[in-house]
Amino acid sequence: MPSARRYKYRMSQPKVLITRGYAPEVLREFCDEFDVAVGATGRYLDRWELLERVGEVDALISRSADRVDREVMERAPRLRVVSNFGVGFETLDVEEATRRGIWVCNTPDVLTEATADLAIALLLCACRRISEAEAYVRNGQWNQINPDLFHGSDPEGKVLGILGMGRIGQALARRARAFGMRLIYHNRRRVAAAVEEALGARFVPLEELWALSDFLSVHTPLTPETEHLIDRPQFARMKPGVYFVNTSRGKVVREAALVEALASGKVRGAGLDVFENEPAVHPDLLRMPNVTLLPHIGSATRETRRRMEELTLDNARRVLRGERPRTPVNDLGPAGTRRPGGVS
């Protein structure tokens, strides 16, 4: 059975488990300060490996594929911090961690620009039919000049609806303005008037977002309230021929409903970086030429992933030193209060 690789072993040092390989140059100083075990490069730890290895750790640096729930925490009585590589934390039981006095951290901000870049790329792929045209060339079908090939749509002057006006939504809005798009948005809380003015974005209720958008881009976190927020009734209320982009979480959208909307022409084209049951993709999406499909690579630039690694390590380091982490999801006070036995 494969096992995590141990960089150092010093009994007096706090123990840290990193569930997937990190760049050695990022880990070097961290490993001088802590006793670090690292999972295999290129794959995630299996569930049994995670449960087996958390028993003595003080810090866990997790990935989106790692489900850190009560069972994991019960196996890790010394655990003080779960530092997650990524913005989303739906695979982490934050409530249980808080009850046990365990910090939960994520990596916002550092992946904002890269994800917004990908969203605008998917928007352009959808409206300019990039994936269809590229496949046409690769498949050897382009054998004569045809001025009527792959007519798409201009983004200029069109209405871009942004669902979720957090960091990434705002970064997308800045990019979309450069294309001359008109911006509307819906957010759980309306952003400050100064931000709206700077972005040229107008807040609208959800019903207006569906009805007015020529393009719709999803940037909302996955919560019980947002799961399947976009379903058949929502697609039915959208403009005929809308373009749809999702770089947030797949389960915000009912995939079968999106397939139906694409098949009927209600949605003219789509760009998807996330899927409802990833890595599985609805088989009908795989056959649709007007959909660009990407394997959840919103933050996948060398520079961004390096910053994400550094931030996860910094959050863990701060907690293990008795300090408050930089980007906590929960709040345990100025530096956190470890409850006796780990549970209140």
pLDDT per position as a tens digit, 59-80: 999 998 899 999 999 999 999 9
Catalytic residue among 33, 90, 278, 310: 278
- Domains of the chain in sequence order: 5-108+302-335 (3.40.50.720), 112-293 (3.40.50.720)
E strand or H helix that includes residue 84 = strand 81-84
Q: With beta carbons less than 8 A apart as the criterion, state whether 246 and 221 touch.
A: no
CA distances from 323 to 11, 320, 334, 335 (A): 22, 7, 8, 5
Report the alpha-carbon distance of residue 303 to residue 112 in Å, rounded.
Answer: 12
Q: Averaged over 163-170, what is the pLDDT? A: 97
The candidate with the shortest Cα–Cα distance to 246, out of 294, 304, 196, is 294
143 by DSSP, 3-state: which? Answer: coil
**Active site (annotated) includes residue 63:** no
What is the pLDDT confidence band of residue 334, given thresholds at 50, 70 and 90? Answer: low
Query: pLDDT tens digits, residue range 226-263?
Result: 999 999 999 999 999 999 999 999 999 999 999 999 99
pLDDT for 23:
87
Tally of CB atoms within 10 A around 160: 26
Catalytic residue among 63, 174, 296, 326: 296
The candidate with the shortest Cα–Cα distance to 76, out of 261, 344, 343, 263, is 343
Q: Rg of the chain's alpha carbons, rounded to an integer?
A: 22
**Active site (annotated) includes residue 303:** no
47 by DSSP, 3-state: which? Answer: helix
Phi first, then psi: what are they for 96, rounded to 5°? -65, -40
pLDDT for 146:
82
**Active site (annotated) includes residue 207:** no
Q: With beta carbons less than 8 A apart as the criterion, state whether 34 and 56 touch.
A: no
Report the alpha-carbon distance of residue 103 to residue 244 in Å, rounded.
Answer: 36
| pTM of the full structure | 0.88
Length of the chain: 344
Report the alpha-carbon distance of residue 231 to residue 80 in Å, rounded.
Answer: 39
Residue written as token pair 């609805």 = 282
86 by DSSP, 3-state: which? Answer: coil
pLDDT for 8:
45
Q: Averaged over 267-271, what is the pLDDT? A: 98
Catalytic residue among 53, 100, 219, 249: 249
